[in-house]
Amino acid sequence: MEYNRFFPPHDGLSLRELANHLGAEVADEKFSELVIHSVAPVYRAAKGDVCYILSRKNMDELRSCNASAIICATALQSIIPSHIPVLLSDNPHAAFAQAGALLHPQAMRAVTVGKDASGISPAAFVDPTARLEANVLIEPMAVIGADAEIGEGSQIGAGAVIGAGVKIGRNCSISAGASVLCAYVGNNVIIHNGARIGQDGFGYAPGPAGMLKIVQIGRVIIQDNVEIGANTTIDRGTMDDTVIGEGTKIDNQAQIGHNVRIGRHTAIVSQVGIAGSAKIGSGVQIGGQAGVAGHIHVGDGAQLAAGSGVIFDLAPGGRYGGVPARPIKDFLREMAETMAKIGNRKKMRGGEND
């Protein structure tokens, strides 16, 4: 691939330095002074790149690989060509993630208007009562409301809106066009472009003249190390708070309703919808386009397949799929039986398409 002007290569780390950072082992010390500049996939890795493999599926790609290092488990070392240095790791996937963050730190945060951008743009509006710690970056057309607080090292992207009284922690990235209202945000939080945090929850009561809007006076609490994807929406609570737990990662275009509480280190893929007052445990994984009904409790460590519909509480640690969501083995067995019935009907019709 041609030189990437958006994420240029690192000045360089020796393989020994990289291994020390990753807690990995250089398999052959004669390669320890080779310099690593970037990460790349196996099929196009070249001099200066580090890549990784998790299985033997990459064997064909290895034949043309010219990486300066490959991260792998000890069990796969034998399939690596002799000319490619090996970094041995018990968890190659995590080690590669660490390597990427180390070699491309600028890609781990929201991209600013320029790599040398700093301070408060004269084209931004910062209310005089707002309190900013040192080294805060405010890009053009951003708006910082009255009594807002922004911690040291945080970046507010172009056109972003930080509402009155909002508190943003340290080393956060609030990307271009995002809005954060009625919220307290922890440290090291990333909020991507166009995300909407803290707007009204969807609450109405039927009345004789139509739908009556229910007041929404709660907050959104986002704990440390959370990442929220582009165009995701998180409603503030009705009277309690909407809470996103520490380390949780939410993909693009998800909808989190009012009073939802999500535990720590949970992963939510794109286009998931979670209705009001649902409780999602810690370590939960929710596949794309899944839906969780209101007031449902999903237990710690549960896994939901893409497209699942949750209308009953789910026990901790289970794997679920389908609509309504049920144990994944039951869902897959039902799917197999349905497909078999469809196949039998086609045979009876002489192979005609339905």
Catalytic residues: 258
DSSP codes, 25-48? EESSGGGTT-EE-EE--GGG--TT
Residues ≥6 apart with Cβ < 8 Å to 128: none
C-alpha distances in Å from residue 201, one per residue of 71, 100, 166, 189, 218: 46, 38, 17, 22, 9
Tokens of 329: 């083995």
155-161: which pairs have CB atoms within 8 A and are 24 or more residues apart? 155/109, 155/110, 155/112, 156/124, 157/110, 157/112, 157/193, 158/113
Q: Which residues of 218-243 are buried (b: 16+ CB within 10 A; e: fewer)?
A: bbbbbbbbbbbbbbbbbbbbbeebbb
DSSP codes, 249-305? EE-TT-EE-TT-EE-TT-EE-TT-EE-TT-EE-TT-EE-TT-EE-TT-EE-TT-EE-
